[in-house]
Each structure stands twice: as C-alpha cells, then as structure tokens.
Amino acid sequence: MIRPDPATPEGAAVIDLYEQMNALNDHTGNWPGADTVDILGAWLDRFDFTGPVPRTRLVAGSVWVLRRQDRHVDEVTLWNDEDSALADLAGHVRSSWDNLLGDDGIPQHPPRNDREAVDLYYGADHARGDEHYSLYADTIGRLARTLPAPDGFRFPDEEVCAEVNSAAVFHPMAGLDDEGLPCIEIAGVLVFAYLDADMQAVRVSVHLDTPDGLLVHPGQTVPLHMEVDDSTVFSAGATPAPAAAGGWRQWPRRVRRWIQRTRR
C-alpha cells in the first residue's frame, strides 16, 4: 500500500485531496459530480505534467580526454590518468618517428620518456604540420533527480544517519597471521582499507552484500558516492536532499578537521 509522505510536495497534495474529498462526503453524504470535478480540476492545476523532471548535475568521476588529429584520423580516447594517455600518444609518436628524421635537433631514436617524445614530435603548441593533439582532464557527469524517486524510496534522514554513523564498528586484523583485513562496518556495508602488496597501493574495497534494509533501493541497489580527497571518483544513486543544497561542501572540511585531530 502506498503511504503519501507529507514531507514531499506530492505527498502533501495527495493528503490535501483526500481531506477535501472526505469533507465533501461529510457535508453532502456522497460525492456530487459537479463538486468533485471542481475539486479535482483545482487540484490538478497544481501540477505541471509538461516540464522535465528536475535534475541536478553531479560529478560521478573523472577522466583524461585525448584527442589526436591528422589528415586521416580524428580520434578521441578516454583514460584513467594522464600517464596512460601520454603512453598511448607516445606509442603513435614512436611509430611515426621517421617523419622527423632530418630535422634539426631530432635524435635518431625517440626518447624513452613518453612526455619528452611527445614534446619533441609535436612541439610546444601540440601541433606539427597537419598533426595535433589535445589532452585534458574532465569530469564525468550524472544527472540526479532532485525530487523523490517515483518508487517511494527515501534515504535515511539526518537524524537516522547520525545514529547509524555513531554505531559504526571497526574490525582490525587480529594479528600478522590473521587472514582477514581491516574494515569498517556501517549499516551492514563493509569498507576494507588496507595496504596491498600485490597491487603496490593503498586499496579500498566496498562490499554491499549485507546492507541494512534502510539503504536498499527497490531495485536492490545501494546509493553509493565515493571521493578521494575532494574529488568524486564514483557516484551511483546519490541524490542530494533539497534542504542540503550546498551543505555537502561542509563534509570535506569535517574530514580535514578529523584528519588533523588524529595526527596530533
């Protein structure tokens, strides 16, 4: 059964219609057609059925965009980082190095350093004759609904979030022989953060196998938003609360204050 939420404009409108129709029935003993049409007409006029669903652009990640052009190619590729994009571009440069031989200051073989090879080939203006390239970082956008989802899913409010956050549990490794990994458990979500010798990196892994029901969208997904420093690296299902517009900017400051406190 659908329960209208009075905290949303749509829910409040449905409740208002229900109360008007009840008042009409109490007054007349039924729902006279003319009166019902008047009530429904005025009620429907409160809605806009023609405009698009309001959405807000969120950053869901970042990417490096490489565009390489010449007489035969106009190619755009996306890369996770600048080094990977430069390595790909340097591969083209090395395969075309013969085009430079004979020019002043050009060595017989391309430099082993990718950036040096690219700079020698294209020059300071990123162009050589009819060949040129551009390389820049950009964000990946996601348009999130600014109204509640039509399936009725509502993420926990600020008070519930505070209660759940305060109940988070840290599970450390029991010792050097422990085959487990350190993780934080919050509302059934497990977040592992550890040093990975195989990957030669700090590794963060989020497991959503056992989330609390209050986090689970009817589509069996969990809204997830991930940041590294102040940059969003992944976002899926996150929808900013209208009342918190701009409030998310306070979160990085809170994190930085916590980091400073732990280092004292």
Q: Lowest-confidence range among 65-69, 234-238, 247-251?
A: 247-251
Prediction pTM value: 0.56
CA distance 187 to 214: 8
> Quick one: which of 110, 109, 71, 66 has its CA closest to 88?
66
3-state helix, strand, coil in the chain (%, to 5): 35, 25, 40
Helix (H) or strand (E) holding 120: helix 114-122
CA distance 250 to 234: 19
In Å, how far are 30, 35, 40, 41 from 25, measured between CA atoms? 5, 10, 14, 17
pLDDT reported for residue 245: 45
Structure tokens at 257: 């204050």
Q: How many residues does the chain have?
A: 264
Whether 191 contacts 208, CB under 8 Å: no
- Per-residue pLDDT at 248 exceeds 50: no
The Cβ of residue 75 has, within 10 Å, a number of other Cβ atoms equal to 12
pLDDT reported for residue 256: 56
Q: Lowest-confidence range among 97-106, 154-163, 171-180?
A: 97-106
- Per-residue pLDDT at 244 exceeds 70: no
- Per-residue pLDDT at 2 exceeds 90: no
Structure tokens at 79: 């890369």
- Per-residue pLDDT at 33 exceeds 60: yes
CA distance 183 to 100: 54
SS3 139: strand
pLDDT reported for residue 147: 58
pLDDT reported for residue 264: 59
CA distance 164 to 196: 29
What's the start-to-end Cα distance of the chain, in Å?
Answer: 53
